[in-house]
Amino acid sequence: MDNIERIRTNPPEVMSVVEAGIYMGISDKLIRKLIKDGKLRCRRNGPTGKILIRKEWVDNYLNKEGE
């Protein structure tokens, strides 16, 4: 499956770890490291603890890294 097809919309406002990785062009493992290191914001969803990342947080991270 093509990476673009793995994202629900192009791009969604709230993404999973996998979708954020596809959007940023990096692995989901690196996304998790950025979250652990406090460089990328996220929220955990309810009792499942699923990691959710807002598009604006990804864009803010990318803008900071580009400076």
d(CA 61, CA 46): 24
Number of domain units in the chain: 1
Q: Which residues contact 51 (CB under 8 A, 6 or more apart)?
A: 16, 17, 32, 35, 42, 43, 44, 45
CATH code of the domain containing 25: 1.10.1660.10
**Mean local confidence (pLDDT), 49-59:** 95
Assign 15 to helix, strand or coil: strand
By C-alpha distance, which of 60, 39, 35, 61 is closest to 50? 35
pLDDT at position 24 is: 93
Q: Which domain holds residue 59?
A: 3-66
d(CA 13, CA 23): 11
Mean pLDDT over each residue of the chain, to the nearest integer:
89
What predicted TM-score, i.e. pTM, was given to this entire model? 0.81
pLDDT in tens, 27-50: 999 999 999 999 999 999 989 999
pLDDT band at 5 (very low <50, low <70, confident <90, very high): low
